[in-house]
Amino acid sequence: MTLVARSAERLGELARSLDDTGAEINTVEADASSPEDLRARITELYDDEGAPGVVIYNAVLGSPDQLLSSTVTHLQEAYAVDVIGAIVVARKPPRQ
C-alpha cells in the first residue's frame, strides 16, 4: 500500500497507525495543489516495480458554505486539488 500526501509528518503518523495490519506501507510526499509536483511524484510511483493497481484519490480542499463569499484564489486552489489533482492521478503518465 502506498500513501500519498503533502505532509511527511502526517504520512508517517498514518503509516505508523497501520503497522498492526501487517501490510507493507510506503509513503510518497506530493502536493495535490501543484499539478507539476503531483505529476512528477505519481510518475515515479507508476514507473516503480509494483505500481499500484488501484488508486483512491481522496484529496480535497473544501470551500466555505457560502460559495459567493469565497475568494477567487481559494476557489482556484480548491479546483486544482479537487479536480485537476484527481485527473493527474487518474491519468497514467507516459513512460519517459
Closest CA to 2 of 36, 33, 46: 46
SS3 27: strand
What CATH number does residue 66 fall under? 3.40.50.720
Residue for grid cell 459567493: 68
pTM to 2 decimal places: 0.74
Domain annotation covers residue 95: no
Domain annotation covers residue 64: yes
Question: Which residue range forms the structural domain that includes residue 66?
Answer: 2-90
pLDDT score, position 95: 58
| Predicted confidence pLDDT, tens digits, the chain (96 residues) | 888 888 889 889 999 999 899 888 888 899 988 999 999 998 888 888 777 777 888 888 876 677 788 888 888 888 999 999 999 988 866 555
CB atoms near residue 96 (< 10 Å)? 5
How many domains does the chain fold into? 1
Task: Report the amino acid identity of residue 71.
Answer: T
Domain annotation covers residue 6: yes
Domain annotation covers residue 74: yes
Domain annotation covers residue 96: no
CB atoms near residue 37 (< 10 Å)? 15
pLDDT score, position 94: 54
